[in-house]
């Protein structure tokens, strides 16, 4: 038994050595050993091979499945044993059902469900048309499950726990010492958390990065948008006060940085929110405010209507476009389907988070332009840069 414990302790020490010295410390200084880049390149090659193999397998399969609506009608008719005719009035019910589903699943509703891929990315979530193709493809999928759940997930979980613990403990220790030390703690924590997601982030046009006293607005796909943006600079967050673990983190953050947290009742008072934000922007030494004007997560395909309150504050607006690569994982958080814990589990067991971030030139309201028109103009600029659909809903 003692030998078993010695082996276990030795493996734990080796694990922590690798995590701390080869991942966490380089992340804290904004460095990379290049392992993630090689990993992404290997993934691209594997997914390209899988796509070609699936397409070839479909051509080789002699039995092409009949459309689902024909299968349904055949089952209905067999169960009723129709006599003396091929049509019954109830046959139309299936088409009525599909028609209603098409109406309900309109252009807006589709933005609140996961983006469907053109081909399988070897993750659990796949397109509905995928079927068994070959043994080699199935073996690759099985190996992927092992790598994602037995190697990557424990590693990412360790990094996430270290990053969140460092965020809470570090900000609590420095307390009211606001300034560069607080920003350093924030920056290192978010960088560790980004490594916990195997995040590969490409920042473009960094000369347009939001400056102090400004307002940064971005499209919103997931709560980890904050981690993605805060890897490249510190922001003052705006949001509702939460309880539980999130509340602990919020209280630790606000001790050392002027984040703007609101009670639920205060969030309903638009004038109170606007006045607090305007006071923050007026202090040109404070960090730029980070706001997601959509107010909810959209599935990485579109940008929906921006609420005009963020554009009534005044000051300079710094638009940012965020676009995730869906081949490596689904970053969208469907809050109506998954709670935060389930979402993080799905994210941390995906291949990786690969994302492009574009800093757009600063924008200000023009003479004679109201807040709603200004919001639409900023939204259109973000959608155009990110290759997203610009929806007016």
In the chain, what percentage of residues exceed pLDDT 70? Answer: 73
Read off the tokens for 298.
């959209």
Indicate the helix (H) or strand (E) that contains 303.
strand 302-303
- 6 or 90: which carries more pLDDT confidence? 6
Domain ranges of the chain: 67-104, 139-390
**Mean pLDDT computed over 142-153:** 88
Q: How confident is the model at residue 205 (pLDDT cuts 50, 70, 90)?
A: very high
Query: What is the tally of helices (H) and strands (E) in the chain?
Result: 14, 9
pLDDT, greater one: 158 or 72: 158
- Structure confidence at residue 128 (pLDDT): 47
pLDDT of residue 125: 47
The β-bridge partners of 218 are 320
Mean pLDDT of the chain: 77
pLDDT confidence of residue 142: 86
pLDDT at 359: 95
CA dihedral 367, 372, 378, 382 (to 10 degrees): -170
**Could you report the per-residue pLDDT of 78-136, keeping only the tens digit for each?**
555 444 456 566 666 666 666 665 555 555 555 556 666 666 777 764 444 455 667 88
Q: CA-CA distance, 164 to 294, in Å (whole number)?
A: 27
Q: Is the pLDDT of residue 179 over 80?
A: no
Query: Distance (Å, rounded) from C-alpha 114 to C-alpha 221?
Result: 11
The 10s digit of each residue's pLDDT in 275-327 is 777 877 777 778 888 888 888 888 888 898 888 877 888 778 999 999 999 88
CB atoms within 10 A of CB 210: 25
pLDDT at position 95 is: 65
Q: Using CB atoms within 10 A of its CB, is residue 184 exposed (0-12), middle (13-18) or buried (19+)?
A: middle
Band (pLDDT 50/70/90 cuts) for residue 178 is: low
| Distance, CA of 338 to CA of 237 (rounded, Å) | 24
Contact 374, 360 (CB under 8 A): no
pLDDT category of residue 10 using cuts at 50, 70 and 90 = confident
Q: At what angle do helices 244-256 and 180-196 cross, to 10 degrees?
A: 150
Enter the tokens of residue 271: 């004038």
Model pLDDT, residue 321: 94
Residue 191 has pLDDT above 60, yes or no: yes
Give the pLDDT mean for 126-154. 77
The answer to whether residue 6 scores a pLDDT higher than 70 is: yes
379 pLDDT tier (thresholds 50, 70, 90): very high
Q: 3-class DSSP state for residue 318? A: strand
Q: Is 213 in contact with 286 (CB distance < 8 Å)?
A: yes
Query: Which residues make Cβ contacts (< 8 Å) with residue 378, sequence separation at least 6?
Result: 217, 306, 311, 317, 319, 363
Query: Is the predicted pLDDT of residue 347 greater than 80, yes or no?
Result: yes
> 175 pLDDT exceeds 60?
no
The alpha-helical segments, DSSP class H, found in 283-370 are: 340-348
- Mean pLDDT in residue range 56-83: 54
Mean pLDDT value of segment 24-29:
74
pLDDT, tens digit (0-9, with 9 covering 90-100), for 353-377 = 999 999 999 998 888 888 888 999 9
* 390 DSSP β-pair partners: 303
Burial pattern 38-50, b for ≥16 Cβ within 10 A else e, equals: ebbeebeebbeeb
Checking if the pLDDT of 161 tops 70, the result is yes
């Amino acid at each position: 038994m003692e030998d078993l414990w010695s082996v276990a302790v030795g493996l734990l020490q080796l694990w922590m050595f690798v995590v701390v010295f080869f991942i966490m410390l380089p992340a804290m200084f904004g460095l990379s050993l290049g392992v993630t880049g090689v990993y992404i390149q290997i993934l691209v090659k594997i997914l390209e091979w899988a796509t070609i193999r699936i397409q070839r397998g479909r051509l080789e399969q002699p039995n092409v499945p009949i459309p689902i609506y024909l299968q349904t009608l055949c089952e209905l008719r067999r169960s009723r044993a129709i006599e003396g005719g091929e049509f019954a009035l109830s046959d139309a019910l299936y088409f009525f059902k599909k028609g209603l589903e098409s109406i309900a699943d309109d252009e807006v509703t589709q933005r609140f469900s996961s983006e469907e891929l053109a081909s399988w990315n070897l993750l659990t979530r796949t397109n509905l048309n995928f079927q068994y193709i070959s043994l080699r493809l199935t073996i690759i999928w099985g190996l992927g499950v092992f790598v994602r759940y037995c190697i990557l997930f424990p590693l990412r979980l360790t990094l996430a726990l270290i990053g969140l613990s460092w965020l809470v403990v570090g900000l609590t220790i420095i307390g009211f010492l606001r300034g560069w030390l607080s920003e350093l703690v924030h920056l290192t924590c978010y960088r560790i958390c980004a490594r916990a997601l195997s995040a590969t982030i490409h920042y473009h046009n960094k000369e347009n990065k939001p400056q102090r006293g400004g307002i940064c607005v971005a499209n919103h796909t997931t709560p980890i948008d904050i981690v993605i943006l805060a890897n490249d600079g510190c922001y003052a967050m705006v949001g509702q006060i939460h309880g539980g673990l999130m509340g602990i983190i919020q209280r630790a953050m606000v001790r050392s940085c002027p984040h703007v947290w609101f009670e639920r009742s205060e969030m309903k008072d638009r004038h109170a929110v606007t006045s607090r934000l305007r006071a923050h922007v007026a202090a040109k030494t404070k960090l730029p405010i980070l706001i997601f004007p959509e107010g909810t997560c959209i599935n990485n395909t579109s940008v929906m209507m921006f609420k005009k309150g963020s554009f009534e504050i005044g000051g300079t607006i710094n638009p940012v476009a965020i676009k995730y690569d869906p081949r490596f994982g689904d970053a969208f958080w469907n809050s109506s389907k998954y709670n935060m814990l389930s979402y993080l589990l799905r994210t941390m067991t995906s291949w990786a988070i690969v994302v492009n971030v574009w800093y757009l030139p600063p924008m200000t309201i023009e003479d004679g332009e109201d807040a709603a028109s200004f919001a639409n103009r900023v939204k259109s600029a973000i959608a155009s840069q990110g290759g997203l659909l610009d929806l007016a809903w």
